[in-house]
Amino acid sequence: MSAAPLVGYSSSGSEDEAEAGARVRPGAEGRSRGQSPLPGQRLPVPSSVLHMFPGTEEGPMDDSAKHGGRVRTFPHERGNWATHIYVPYEAGEEFLDLLDALLCHAQTYVPRLVRMEAFHLSLSQSVVLRHHWILPFVQALKDRVASFQRTFVGLEVTSGHAHFLDLVAEVDRVMEEFDLSTFYQDPSFHISLAWCVGDARLQMEGLCLQELQGIVDEFEDSEMLLRAYAEQIRCKSGNKFFSMPLK
């Protein structure tokens, strides 16, 4: 296998309750100060209390500034769990050394590039699962991929591509069972190394990618370094992780 090629690629309920809590019943006006309210009478709620817990019914508010400018593919909704199927890649010290060399050079073209914190090869798009679907979904995945053997991957898969297509076909069947989006047509299997906000393809294409490929080709033992066993498939749903070993 040759060194892997690089690729550049409102809920209004709480408001209604607050308004109701702030209303004064007819007859309340004109009562002398200090006089006890009528039985069952609602008193105005201080504005400081009304605004103490903003957005509690709508779930957490997304703040892209906390995620390097990234935004959700779909909005957060209570009870929905973002789910993704992938093959994890455990990066060794030599791989990270190569990545540092690539990133340092790439940042001369796109300074805002940021190194990925973890590495994987996607087998599905990100989809939304209801909480009660998670366990039957994972079990269906386990049933589908139980017979698959491990294989080799690089930055972009140069061997075993057909094997990964077969694996994606099984994942897609599970997606269809749950009426979810299947993977892309004619996918290019790869491990993402870095990312940035915005479209930087024009800066990356051409000379930049050629120079980065040269760094990979000249890196000591890069052909062996960029081979890795895919020993398991992993499903991440919200904050839950499920692993399915490959034979």
The residues annotated with a catalytic role in the active site are: 120, 190
Please answer whether residues 146 and 167 qualify as being in contact, where contact means their C-beta atoms are separated by less than 8 angstroms.
Answer: no
Q: Can you say whether the dihedral through the CA atoms of 94, 96, 101, 102 is positive or negative? A: positive
Beta strands in 47-110 (DSSP E): 80-89
- Which runs of consecutive H residues, i.e. helices, occur in the chain? 13-22, 47-50, 93-106, 134-145, 161-177, 201-204, 207-218, 222-225
- Determine the longest span between alpha carbons in the chain, in angstroms: 90
Residues 6+ apart with CB under 8 A from 165: 187
